[in-house]
Each structure stands twice: as structure tokens, then as C-alpha cells.
Structure 1
Amino acid sequence: MIYLDYNATTPIDKAVADAMVPYFYGFFGNPSSSHAFGIEAKEAIDHARKQVAGLLGCLENEIVFTSGGSESNNTVLKGVAHSYQHKGKHIITSKIEHPAIINPCKFLETIGFEVSYVPVDVYGMVNPADVEKLITEETILVTIMHSNNETGTIQPIKEISQICKKHQVLFHTDASQSVGKVPINVYDLGVDFLTLAGHKLYAPKGIGALFIKKGIHIEPLIHGAGHESGRRAGTENIILEVGLGKACEIASEALNNDEVQKLTEYFYDQLRQSFGEQIILNGHPEKRLPNTLNISFLGYNGHEVLNQLMDTAASTGSACHSGMTTISPVLEAMGVAEEVGRGAVRFSLGRYTTKEEIEVVVSKLEKVII
């Protein structure tokens, strides 16, 4: 089986799994306990928090551990909505966000909040000027994803953050798909909140993190005891947090390795040589994730193409939209024609992809795309 769906999820890195193992069998204390067992557990969490902060370039106490990207996004949207509703009830997001942003926004609309959805261009890129046009005195939050999970297009986050600062509006970016693939420094980006999902960077599922800039206080999504400095209740999952910390440490060391990008470029070159004008690249040709290719095979249905690529795992859209027979909402927002969008297949490469696997997939495609 050839796996080319790393944007959906990644396998757990062996070094990550090895780091977690001791916490399955020992170090089981409650981090809130003051005895030796609790102190051991707390030290492990503190170290993991330091590793995550190191990858994002922030302070350790600005990192909140969560159950994943969806919880982090919901925490920001609902927390800001509750804590800042005295200022206004207007939120801005984009038309190409993940459902973990779109659906909480739809929920907030049902309880009296107004949400504006900024459009994107043909490359799936948000124009910062369009964001600024939508800001009003009632705007309390802008949330724009760092990169799109389907096309890989990277958004002008730094420029948007500068606009938000000018208007004194909080800014969040969902960087679940970007962290570990491209360098990210939260201070350089100028964001107030940033979402990270562990299973996108070779850590386990069910663990994530949320960067909350120092000095910003929002209502917690989960109430209870004072865990995570009162920002997220629930006894800490030491095993998964250790895994996420190790994954972030590995990602920090691997960011300068461009092997995946070279392999992705090789893949695209092979596809162009084999199919020429029969394929179209969806997304920005340059400003995109180094591992992502969203390719439309003209005259074909993406699902049918994948069904004929025996033993190859890829996607016809984001993983959350698998099984769709209509054009992806992301491609629709980009203005991609229906007949082009139906033929889209997303190939996303990763740490364990090989050149030989790419050549096998191209060879298989040559038998399908005639």
C-alpha cells in the first residue's frame, strides 16, 4: 500500500512512540499531586510544553494542550465570542476554512453573532485588503487558516495580522496543516492564537495545542479544575502530551530538510511529462505547502481515478470530505469549473514517501488516464 495522504493524517514516528512508552507503564502520577509521583508527571508535561513552544517560537506558558485541532479552534471562537461580546458580535473568516472553523461559526450565528466570509482568488488566496473591508467597530475576531488542507495554498497571515492590529481586532490562524511542514514563528506572524494538531506532524491522534498570546484571557471551552493555568480543565494526558512534545522537537530539527519538497516537485514534473494538458494544478503554484499537490485530471472523476489506483491512498478533497461526488467547497470558492473540480485528486507526501513509490503511482496513472 502506497500512502500519499499525509494531509489527512500521519503515522506516528517511531521516536515519538518510543518516547511515550515509559509513560504507559510508569510515571502514572497525577501532575496536580505534590508527591514524587505527581512531580515526575508534571516534569514530563513541562518538558513537552517546552518542546511545543520551541517549535512555535513562543513562551512555554503560552501553550495550552488540547485534544486536537477541532478543540483548539472551538476554544478560540467560542471563548472570544463569550469574552468579547461586550465589544461586538462580528467575526470574519474565509470561505475555504476547515469544518472545525466553519461549523463553530455557523453555531455562533444561531446565537446572535454575525460572521462574514471573505472570498479567495483563483489560487485559493485571501486578499488582506478584502479582510480589512469587512472589519467594523463590532468585529472581535478574524480567523484565517495558515494553509489550506486541500490545495496547500499558504495565506498572507503576517499581512492580515498587521491589519488586525491596526484595528485592534484579535487574530487566530488554524495552522494544523502547516506546523512541521514550514517554519512558523507566532511572534513573527503576529497572531494572537494559533492551532496545532498532533496527528498532522507524526504525533498521535487526540492531542493538539493552542497558542494563546500572553495577556489575552478568554473563557475556557471546558470548565472544571484549574488545569492548564485555568485555560482548559481535565487531568492532563501525559502519554499523548509527551508524544506531541517529541514530535515537535523532531519537526524543529527537520524543518531545514527539503527532501519532501524535492520529491513533490519530482512527482509534479513526472505528471506533467506523462499527461501534459490533461492535468491542472489547483492552488498556488509557488506559495503552497512543500508536500501537497491537488491535481485535476480533465475529463475524469477523482473518485474513479482513485478507485483504479489499486493499493494507493490519496484523497479527492480534505479527509473530512471523503466520499463526496460533487466539487469540493474549497475548489468551488476558488471558482474552479465543475467539470475540472470533479476530477481533483489530492496527493500529499510525507516523511516516509520514496521516489520509487512516486514512480509506481505515475506508472499506475498512465494506465488509468488515457
Structure 2
Amino acid sequence: MAAPIYLDYQATTPVDPAVAAAMQPFLLDRFGNPHSQHRPGWEAEAAVDNARAQIARLLNMLPEALVFTSGATEATNLALKGVLTAPGQARRRIVTVATEHSCVLDTAEYLRELGAELTVLGVDADGLIDLDAAAAAIGDDVAIVSVMAVNNEIGVIQPVAEVAALAKRAGAVMHCDAAQAFAKIPVDVDALGVDLLSLSGHKAYGPKGIGALYVRPGTRLAPQMHGGGQEGGGLRSGTLAPMLCVGFGKAAEVAAARLDADAAHVRELWDRALAALDVPYSLNGSATARWHGNLNLCFPSVDGARLLADLRGLAVSAGAACASAKGKPSHVLAALGLPDALAKASLRIGWGRFTTADEIDRAMAMINDAVRAQGVRAA
């Protein structure tokens, strides 16, 4: 059986061949522990330091401000829990957004159960927050504000810099989940004004199992993992995997050279995909304030479960991989005001660096056929 056309880039991206090549020596030959005090250890440490510098250059930050983690979920847990449990922290309120990734919302809810206060901002029908509502919510009792850059389900880009300015005015820490933005759109920690930034390797053509948290110097965090204190001056314990760090760093280096070309490519495929659709649909999320490698479509009057079953030649999803695996409806689409029936009739289609125009043409033809098979007439 032929492999399906892969259009689920928000769940994970293919590893770039240059990344795989950079990682390979560290699987067998250069296996030293980067925390060991001998030549193999020093060589591994140098490779990790180089990876840290590669990522830092893409984000316009100091390399020593980057704390490697197992992924964006751990980075986000460290950010939110670390701020709320930092020594001397008197503020108890968290402000976030209804369309955030579950690693933000679930961590915030956990902290609420422990005594923190939680304010969740709504979004409009396009998935964007209201800055006036954000300004009203961010007061001098707020410890941390968390707003993601690019939404993982609908591709919407939030006004992070504007929210960060509000957080700064209130004396709150600003966190941004940039897992879907890193290596896709320009991300500059100073231009955004963020204090904490969560990153993921496998959303950016790098390996799974590696991520990072940018920590602006002076930001107070309490460690959430205790042990050897290998990262961030004791902020995160655990032996680093040089192979994964090297892959993450190489992915950043490749992205730095391809940022404009990748953006132009996905925009071309976006235009091609929409032009090829000839069945009724509506777009979930803003048509303009977005990353164009994400297309979340609602097909009214269609049985979503049957649609997915009929699209076995495509690797697409009904939403975030973590939620889809549990059979949960999309909280993001619910926040946009979609009733369950329309949310269940929605597809998330994602493409990127290695997607071809021919794959988009074939995929849209399959979607047209699958929708028409349910008695829906052409648009």
C-alpha cells in the first residue's frame, strides 16, 4: 500500500536531511556525556554549545539564556510552574487564552487547583484576542501572561508583542509558546518583548524529544526537576542528549537560511489548495493573521468521522494530535464559536518545506471526492 500524502505538519515535520546528517555521528562515534570532564565529554559539550548558539542566532538572544528541555511541553511547564513557585512570588494570577495548547491550559488549571487564580481570555470568530480585553485583565496581581505565537490548530498569529507590552506595564512575566512559530516566521525575543519562550525541535524539521525554554536574564524561576542541575545554572536537571541538541541546532541553522523561501513556498501552496477546492467550505481562523502552512476547513453537512475514514490516502487530522488521540472535540474550534457538529466536520491540513504542488493537487482532489461522496454538491 502506498504511503499517504503527508499533510499533518502541525503534528510533526519530517526531519530535514541536513539535520539527520548532522546528528548521525553522535549516535555511534561521538557518544560522550556532555557533562563529563574528559575529552569525549568536552567534545560533546562543544557540540551542545554550538547547537545552543545556532538556536540563539535565529531568535536574537544570548546562548546562555537557552535551557534545553525534552520538548515544548516541559518548557511550558517549567515556565508557568517556575514563575508561580519562584521564591518571593507574591502574585497568584495567570492570564492566558482559550485557544492555547493543552500544555498551557492544563498546567494553568493544575496551578489553579493549587491556589492560583486563572483568567482565560476569549477570542473572536477569527481566533484573535481582543487587546482591550487583555489590557483589562492584566493587572498588578498577575504573575504570568501566556499567549502562543502561532496556533497549532488554526494557524492564527496572535499579537504577542502588544500583549507583552501590557504585561510589562503591569510588572508581569510574559511567556509565549512558540512551538509552531519557531523556524517558520521571524521570532525575535527582544522585538516580541517576551521573558519566556517555549520551543520544540520536531515542529521545525528537527528531531523529537528535544525542546528549549528561553529565559530572559533576571526572570525568576523555580526548578521543576531536581538532580544534577545540568542546565541553566541548576534550573533543569538531566543529562542532555548531544545528538538531539545537535539536530535541533542544525534545524535552526537551516531555517535561518530558508525562512523567506519556506514562507513563499507555503503561501504558494495555500493559494493552490484553495483554488482547487470545488465543494462548499468555510475557513476556521483568520484569513490574514496566520501562518499559511496551516489550513483548517469546515465542510458543512459532512460527517467528519466518515470524511476522515474516506481520506485514508491523506495524513490529515481533525485537530491537535494530543486531543485527537483521546477523541476529544477541539477546544480551539469551540472557542471560535463553532458548534460540535461543525467542529466535527472540520479538517486540519498542514504542509511545509517538503510538500510539492502535485501533492496538494492530488490531496484537494481526494477531499473534493470525499465531500461529494456524502451528497454535497460542488460549490
**Alignment partner for residue 302 of structure 1, among 297, 301, 304?**
304
What is the Cα deviation at residue 327 of structure 1?
4.4
Given the two structures, how large is their TM-score scaled by the length of structure 2? 0.93
**Alignment partner for residue 351 of structure 2, among 349, 352, 363?**
349
Whether the 8 Å CA contact 2:138–2:166 is kept in 1: the answer is: no
Q: Look up the SS of the partner of 2:348 in the other structure.
A: strand
Question: Runs of at least 4 residues of structure 1 off by over 6 A?
Answer: none
Whether the 8 Å CA contact 1:326–1:342 is kept in 2: the answer is: no
- Within 5 Å, give how 1:274-353 maps onto structure 2: 274-275=278-279, 278-322=280-324, 327-353=329-355
What is the Cα deviation at residue 185 of structure 1?
0.6
Whether the 8 Å CA contact 2:93–2:143 is kept in 1: the answer is: yes
Given the two structures, how large is their TM-score scaled by the length of structure 1? 0.96
User: Which stretch has the larger CA shift, 82-91 or 137-146?
Assistant: 82-91
**Alignment partner for residue 258 of structure 2, among 222, 235, 254?**
254
Letter in 2 for 1:340: L
Q: Distance in 2 between matches of 1:106 and 1:23?
A: 39
Give the number of aligned pairs: 366
Aligned equivalent of 1:238: 242
Q: Distance in 1 between matches of 2:291 and 2:361?
A: 21
- The answer on 1:65 being equivalent to 2:81 is no
Aligned equivalent of 2:376: none
Q: Distance in 2 between matches of 1:148 and 1:347?
A: 13
Letter in 1 for 2:266: V
Structure 2: stretches of 5+ with no match in the other structure: 373-379
Q: Distance in 2 between matches of 1:86 and 1:24?
A: 42
TM-aligned CA distance change 1:96 to 1:358, over 3 Å: same
Aligned equivalent of 1:81: 84
Aligned equivalent of 2:271: 265
**Percent of pairs with identical residues:** 39
- The answer on 1:25 being equivalent to 2:28 is yes
TM-aligned CA distance change 1:95 to 1:85, over 3 Å: farther
TM-aligned CA distance change 1:324 to 1:206, over 3 Å: closer
Whether the 8 Å CA contact 2:71–2:199 is kept in 1: the answer is: yes
Q: Distance in 1 between matches of 2:294 and 2:35?
A: 42
Whether the 8 Å CA contact 1:268–1:293 is kept in 2: the answer is: no
What is the Cα deviation at residue 28 of structure 1?
2.2
Aligned-pair Cα RMSD in Å: 1.4
Whether the 8 Å CA contact 2:87–2:222 is kept in 1: the answer is: no
TM-aligned CA distance change 1:171 to 1:67, over 3 Å: same
What is the Cα deviation at residue 235 of structure 1?
1.4
Q: Deviations over 1:36-79 (max 9, x none)?
A: 22211111011000011111111101111000011000000110
Q: Look up the SS of the partner of 2:308 in the other structure.
A: helix
Q: Distance in 1 between matches of 2:160 and 2:221?
A: 22
User: Which stretch has the larger CA shift, 121-130 or 27-36?
Assistant: 27-36
TM-aligned CA distance change 1:86 to 1:216, over 3 Å: closer
What is the Cα deviation at residue 326 of structure 1?
6.5
Q: Distance in 2 between matches of 1:222 and 1:265?
A: 45
Q: Deviations over 1:2-25 (max 9, x none)?
A: 000000011211111110111112
What is the Cα deviation at residue 135 of structure 1?
2.2
Q: Distance in 2 between matches of 1:341 and 1:103?
A: 21
Q: Look up the SS of the partner of 1:96 in the other structure.
A: coil
Q: Deviations over 1:161-181 (max 9, x none)?
A: 111111111000001011111
Whether the 8 Å CA contact 2:323–2:329 is kept in 1: the answer is: no
Q: Look up the SS of the partner of 1:256 in the other structure.
A: helix
Whether the 8 Å CA contact 2:94–2:116 is kept in 1: the answer is: yes
- Within 5 Å, give how 1:1-370 maps onto structure 2: 1-83=4-86, 86-228=89-231, 229-257=233-261, 258-271=264-277, 274-275=278-279, 278-322=280-324, 327-370=329-372
What is the Cα deviation at residue 302 of structure 1?
2.4
What is the Cα deviation at residue 368 of structure 1?
1.7
Q: Distance in 1 between matches of 2:367 and 2:32?
A: 53
User: Which stretch has the larger CA shift, 32-41 or 347-356?
Assistant: 32-41
TM-aligned CA distance change 1:324 to 1:300, over 3 Å: farther
Q: Distance in 1 between matches of 2:128 and 2:334?
A: 13
Q: Distance in 2 between matches of 1:47 and 1:324?
A: 38
Letter in 1 for 2:272: Y
Q: Distance in 1 between matches of 2:160 and 2:334?
A: 22
Letter in 1 for 2:253: E
Q: Look up the SS of the partner of 1:140 in the other structure.
A: strand
Structure 1: stretches of 5+ with no match in the other structure: none
Q: Distance in 2 between matches of 1:79 and 1:299?
A: 46
Q: Deviations over 1:189-213 (max 9, x none)?
A: 0000001111101111110011000
What is the Cα deviation at residue 85 of structure 1?
6.1
What is the Cα deviation at residue 336 of structure 1?
1.9
Q: Distance in 2 between matches of 1:363 and 1:29?
A: 50
Q: Distance in 1 between matches of 2:42 and 2:245?
A: 16
